[in-house]
Structure 1
């Protein structure tokens, strides 16, 4: 029953067609829509089917977050092309369209919102260290500055409205992307392994030399890069299956045109769930101010092949200790007390104390 405040209108929900409710649901915000799924079984069934989310994406003008129609049809019919002779169990290969639409990411272009942090702080300059679920910034020396209109000391570019400029000491900006929470299903990452493209624009001031390391890494868990920070960074371009990097160097008085740098993953192993993107740079002359490299327009795209094709799972040949699941910080620390005689030989306690304990025994 629906009842207005003035008691003049009472509507029985049973007399309202499902289509009327669906049209209302399509115009609700994310929080209200999720609350409706908890209201009753009828609302839950109306909102939970795939047809609702396809139409909801169309009304919200975000249909690009969904996989193409051939892929959706293949997932429903379980009719995939395979490159191997072995049979692959596909009964659980279903797209989570709800997660794609609510995240507003899915298979559309993902734009990390680094500028939001600077705008929220009310300053275009950041110094120090900050860590959120989506990014981390380690800005030393004069810090990192957000610049507008193509950047100071650079040729303007119509696609660059805001950029980030580094100073004279090495600073880093790292972006964390949870691929699963962004709407990419786990079975897609394991058995399709679509191309993952990371791109950005880079530049420098023409009156100062600069260096920049642009790297991307596919991970099992989100804290991985933090644990091995610096271990996989080298001074040369890297092209591994899970980790790739591009090193840029600009000399002083060279052309200051914005360039596109692209990293693509298309031969990575199964099990990848997170993507980490890092930019570390500094100027080459140690000048005060923001004379280092500039980056802008970081983008991530997950590109499905045109023909719905699945492949066998592939084992990670580059797996290392950092790929293991982090230990639970809340787990109690176990203390193992060695026998006194053993402790004496290990010098775990002063020799005099050990002798006194032996005498007491």
Structure 2
């Protein structure tokens, strides 16, 4: 494209055209056309408008992203990296670490979950039941250079509930690992205990990894529990809707 043709097209028209093209193509091709187009593509206004049009907005509007381009790409890639988080495929996708008592099982939710689309959960027994997934960030599209340079937040969430008629224990451990699977950072709160004759309420465990340093390539998510009265069957803690997400840093 000649300089004369570029100058003949107002930048406002150019920007409208670019906003309707794939973002990756805009960066890898059209950003290189000329200095004016590079400035346009590199501007915060361009990426803020892309976010507005695609309804990608920070959770807290009073805290806009420091880098709208980074926010856009992280928000577009964002998804739950755990497979089968709601027990809809029985125990598929999970590695069983401990399978005590009557073993892990997938049942319907005894009490409705706050998200009424969730109808199944994983249930534990009278012996310790733990299961885990190992997430390879490179295979999920987040390579080492990306993670090291951007240091995006890593948000984990897990929902759990006891039975009202039986005491139970819930526990979780999430580790950020390097290429050799050595621990870089860990979230491992104390186990949560519920007494018999509790009010059987759904609870959410959340944590956000920030400023975890370079080298993260794997995330190991492990959770589970048991009942504390040694009753045969499935009276232990129930878990569902687990998630691990790579998030824009602007999110609380």
TM-score in same-fold range (> 0.5) = yes
Q: Is the 8 A contact 1:219 1:276 kept in 2?
A: yes
Q: Which consecutive residues of structure 1, in runs of 5 or more, have no partner in the other structure? A: 1-48, 53-68, 74-80, 83-93, 121-133, 226-240, 307-361
Helix, strand or coil for the counterpart of 2:77? Answer: coil
Helix, strand or coil for the counterpart of 1:168? Answer: coil
1:216 corresponding residue in structure 2: 174
2:105 corresponds to which of 145, 148, 154? 145
Structure 1 residues 17-70: Cα deviation after superposition (integer angstroms, max 9, x where no partner): xxxxxxxxxxxxxxxxxxxxxxxxxxxxxxxx9339xxxxxxxxxxxxxxxx74
Q: Is the 8 A contact 1:155 1:256 kept in 2?
A: no
Structure 1 residues 275-329: Cα deviation after superposition (integer angstroms, max 9, x where no partner): 01111311010000101001100111111235xxxxxxxxxxxxxxxxxxxxxxx
CA separation in 2, counterparts of 1:258 and 1:191? Answer: 37
Q: Is the 8 A contact 2:169 2:227 kept in 1?
A: yes
Q: Is the 8 A contact 1:112 1:298 kept in 2?
A: no
Q: With a CA cutoff of 8 Å and minimum separation of 6, indicate the structure with the bigger relative contact order.
A: 2
Total equivalences in the alignment: 187
2:188 corresponds to which of 242, 245, 249? 245
2:90 corresponds to which of 118, 121, 129? 118
Helix, strand or coil for the counterpart of 1:242? Answer: strand
CA separation in 2, counterparts of 1:293 and 1:251? Answer: 11
Q: TM-score, normalised by structure 1?
A: 0.46
- Are 2:247 and 1:276 aligned? no
CA deviation after TM superposition for structure 1 residue 175, in Å: 1.3
CA separation in 2, counterparts of 1:284 and 1:222? Answer: 36
Instruction: After TM superposition, list the pairs within 5 Å mapping 1:71-86 onto structure 2.
Output: none
Q: Which consecutive residues of structure 2, in runs of 5 or more, have no partner in the other structure? A: 1-22, 27-45, 51-65
1:50 corresponds to which of 24, 31, 34? 24
1:109 corresponds to which of 80, 94, 97? 80
After TM superposition, what 4+ stretches of structure 1 lie above 4 angstroms from structure 2? 222-225
